[in-house]
Structure 1
Amino acid sequence: MKALLGPVGIVLKYASLFVASAVAVLPLVVIGMAAFKPTQEFATSAPLSPPESWAYLGNFVTAFTRGGMLQGFVNTSIILVVSLVGTVIIGTMAAYALDRFDFRGKKLVVALFLVATLVPGVTTQVATFQIINSLGLFNTRGAAIVLFMGTDIVAIYIFWQFMQSIPRSLDEAAMLDGANRLSIFARIIFPLLKPAIATVVIIKGIAIYNEFYIPFLYMPKQDLAVISTSLFRFQGPFGAQWEVIAAGTVLVILPTLAAFLFLQRFIYSGLTQGATK
């Protein structure tokens, strides 16, 4: 019986891997082929049929000129950099306070952090929109930046897990030398959090890069479009230019794919270190 289940189990294992890979890869293949097809060819050819000419770049030109992809990349880069810097600073300082200080209501604060992860963000959008509008941030990059910096409970949790692995004796030794809490955090604790910072930057950066809902809702002005909302311009009431959308999607995917392939070792090592320490 075991001898029979052995080969069957192996076949089922590789079959499931093949199906999962096909489900993930086939949409990307269809999008990649559609990006190089003119409108007429896209309308008459099958989704999995290769384009007649891989040298056709008209869809990419249209995506850049009419879709404002270049402006979208600029806006996305500004929001991405400022949000990541703010997330790292706020997250590390919050984690330092939670780990190193004992204060009244600490357990309640931690519990509220955990509860906040269970609340769907869409249920609080009415109140969030009113706050952003009252602060005068609607239709500015500041709206997305503030929301990206102030709602990442996962980043605080990752920093907190790493912070617990840093011995408190380092803080005590620095205090004996006359250092204050701010100096200890900036000169000792923060440099030791590089693996956690790399993990948060990668995960948070990809999330901000791919975000559509927040820019679409809080920055409807055309000059403030990011790369995700720039693609939406090719969706109209009477149809969509799917071949142009495919070309824009390829342009959006390439930076993310390159960043992931280059930095994936930091993602895996950072997550596993945070889980074991």
Structure 2
Amino acid sequence: MRSTVATTLKYVSLVVASLCAIVPLVTIFMLAFKTDQEQRTTGPLTPPSNWLNFENFVTAFSQGGMVMGFINTGIILVVSVAGTILIGTMAAYAVDRFRFRGRKLVLGLFLLATLVPSVTTQVATFQVISALDLFNTRGAAILLFAGTDIVAIYIFLQFMSSIPVSLDEAAMLDGANRFTIYWRVILPLLKPAIATVIIIKGIAIYNEFYIPFLYMPSQELGVISTSLFRFMGPFGSQWQVIAAGTILVIIPTLLAFLFLQRYIYNGLTSGATK
């Protein structure tokens, strides 16, 4: 009797949690296909009369600045992720392969940095960005995103520990220096970790709102998140257009997760168990 009740409660809780996550998305999806009159006169869960009404998507894409948002987001994402991989793999290689005084302190400071809320350091960060004359440029977001990512470093460290040191020694016997070992031996073997970091970091940058909004206030430098936020101005009463813009923003991350989720799970679990 207890097991039956426990099983029932388990599935009921799963259904309720799934509905809480799915119902808002379904509501937005149906609203994106409705006309202005439909969104005023029908309920949120009422299907649109015409599922082929793409006028809201055209308006959102052409008049809402979504094209420039995708371009700015793509530039920032590619450069930032490349910088994160380069800095993260080099830092992980130095920490894992070299034995130096203060090594444990460095690892401890990395861990401490993850516990400090980023909002508490924004005043100092803003002063640094202003001093570098990067405010209201793409360079501000790129520098902040490409900076030392603690999560990425720990993922690289997990994989690095599974690579035998004997490979480094064999390369040294062949006359390779430290940089050659890193570039020709270590980096190719970190491909699973790099794929994991690309997916996690890429989605995080794509969805980021605070940094672009604070450091790139110019409308011409709007990214996906800030462009969608600015919809509330010219399209404040046209909720169907805002819903269409929301769908346009959601689709890329949804497709990326559906096609690449196994790489995320495999990358995190294999790195943690090696």
TM-score under structure 2 normalisation?
0.97
Q: Does 1:12 align with 2:9?
A: yes
- In structure 2, C-alpha distance between the alignment counterparts of 1:101 and 1:237, rounded to whole Å: 56
Residues 88-99 of structure 1 aligned to structure 2 (within 5 Å): 88-99=85-96
AA paired with 2:189?
A: L
AA paired with 2:72?
A: N
Residues 42-53 of structure 1 aligned to structure 2 (within 5 Å): 42-53=39-50
Using a 3 Å threshold, how does the CA distance of structure 1 residues 205 and 238 change in structure 2: closer, same or farther? closer
Q: 2:24 aligns with which of 22, 27, 35?
A: 27
Aligned pair count reads 274
CA contact (8 A) 2:235 2:242 kept: no
Q: 1:178 aligns with which of 172, 175, 178?
A: 175
User: In the alignment, which residue of structure 1 is the partner of 2:142?
Assistant: 145
CA root-mean-square deviation: 1.3
The range that moved more, 117-126 or 35-44, is 35-44
User: In the alignment, which residue of structure 2 is the partner of 1:127?
Assistant: 124
Q: Does 1:229 align with 2:226?
A: yes
Structure 1 residues not aligned, in runs of 5+: none
AA paired with 1:102?
A: R
Q: Does 1:37 align with 2:40?
A: no
User: In the alignment, which residue of structure 2 is the partner of 1:250?
Assistant: 247
User: In the alignment, which residue of structure 2 is the partner of 1:163?
Assistant: 160
Deviations 1:33-62 (A, max 9, x none): 111112221122111111111121221111
Deviations 1:196-246 (A, max 9, x none): 001100011000011111111111111110111111122139955322121
Q: In percent, how many aligned pairs have the same letter?
A: 73
CA contact (8 A) 2:228 2:242 kept: yes
Secondary structure of 1:111 counterpart = helix
Q: Does 1:199 align with 2:196?
A: yes
Using a 3 Å threshold, how does the CA distance of structure 1 residues 204 and 219 change in structure 2: closer, same or farther? same
CA contact (8 A) 1:36 1:51 kept: yes
AA paired with 1:165?
A: S
TM-score under structure 1 normalisation?
0.96
- In structure 2, C-alpha distance between the alignment counterparts of 1:238 and 1:48, rounded to whole Å: 22
The range that moved more, 138-147 or 240-249, is 240-249
The range that moved more, 234-243 or 256-265, is 234-243
Shift of residue 69, structure 1, vs aligned partner? 0.3
- In structure 2, C-alpha distance between the alignment counterparts of 1:141 and 1:151, rounded to whole Å: 18
Segments of 4+ in structure 1 off by > 3 A?
Answer: 236-241
User: In the alignment, which residue of structure 2 is the partner of 1:118?
Assistant: 115
Using a 3 Å threshold, how does the CA distance of structure 1 residues 241 and 194 change in structure 2: closer, same or farther? same
